[in-house]
Homo-oligomer: A and B are copies of this chain.
Amino acid sequence: MADRTETPDEQMPVASRRQFLRGGSALVGGAAVSAVASGAALAESSQGSNLPPNVPEWMKAPGDPVGSQLYGTPSPFEKKVARNIPKSGDPIFWTSSRTPLQDLDGIITPNGLFYERHHSGVPAIDPAEHRLMIHGLVDNPLILTMDDIRRFPSESHIYFLECSGNPGFKKPYGKTASDLVGLVSCAEFTGVKLSLVLEEAGLRREATWIVAEGADAAALTRSIPIDKCLDDALLVYSQNGERLRPQQGYPLRLFLPGFEGNMSVKWLRRLHVVTEPVYSREETSKYTDLMSDGKAREFTFYMDAKSIITHPSGGQRLQSPGFHEISGIAWSGRGKIKRVEVSVDSGKSWQEAHLQEPVLTRALTRFRLPWRWDGSPAVIQSRAIDETGYTQPALADLISVRGDNSFYHNNAIQPWRIAADGEVTNANA
Contact = CB atoms under 8 A, between A and B. Distances in A.
Interface in A96-130: 96-97, 103-114, 116, 118, 120-127, 129-130
Given A27-B151, A243-B78, A68 B122 contact: yes
Given A70-B97, A106-B240, A154-B327, A1 B202 contact: yes
A21 B358 contact: no
11 contacts: A21-B200, A27-B151, A39-B141, A52-B270, A58-B124, A63-B121, A64-B122, A71-B83, A104-B241, A106-B156, A154-B368
A219 interface: yes
Nearest to A68: B122
Contact of A144 (B7, B31, B103, B243): B31
A66 B39 contact: no
B52 A70 contact: no
A237 to B, nearest CB: 8
B247 A72 contact: yes
A288 interface: no
Given A143-B38, A156-B105, A247 B65 contact: no
A148 interface: yes
Given A49-B219, A63-B121, A113-B242, 20 more contacts: A5-B195, A21-B199, A50-B272, A52-B135, A59-B217, A63-B216, A65-B92, A66-B94, A66-B121, A69-B112, A70-B97, A75-B127, A75-B244, A110-B242, A152-B325, A153-B368, A154-B327, A156-B356, A158-B358, A358-B358
A65 B121 contact: yes
A198 B5 CA distance: 9
Interface string A130-141: 110111000011
A52 B39 CA distance: 75
Contacts of A294: none
B63 A124 contact: yes
Nearest to A7: B230
A290 interface: no
A348 interface: no
A362 to B, nearest CB: 13
A295 interface: no
Interface string A18-56: 001100100110011011101100100000011110001
A74 B74 contact: no
Contacts of A189: 106
A88 interface: no
A346 interface: no
Name, among A140, A152, A327, the residue most crowded by chain B CB atoms within 10 Å (CB to CB).
A140
B5 A148 contact: no
Interface stretch (A9-17, A162-170, A253-261, A410-418): A9-17
A63 B120 contact: yes
A332 interface: no
B243 A74 contact: yes
A203 interface: yes
Interface in A211-233: 215-217, 219, 230-231
A252 to B, nearest CB: 12
A188 interface: yes
Contacts of A327: 154
Given A71-B74, A148-B27, A125 B81 contact: no
A182 interface: no
A114 to B, nearest CB: 7
A105 B246 contact: no
Contacts of A112: 69, 71-73, 112
Contact of A217 (B62, B123, B358): B62
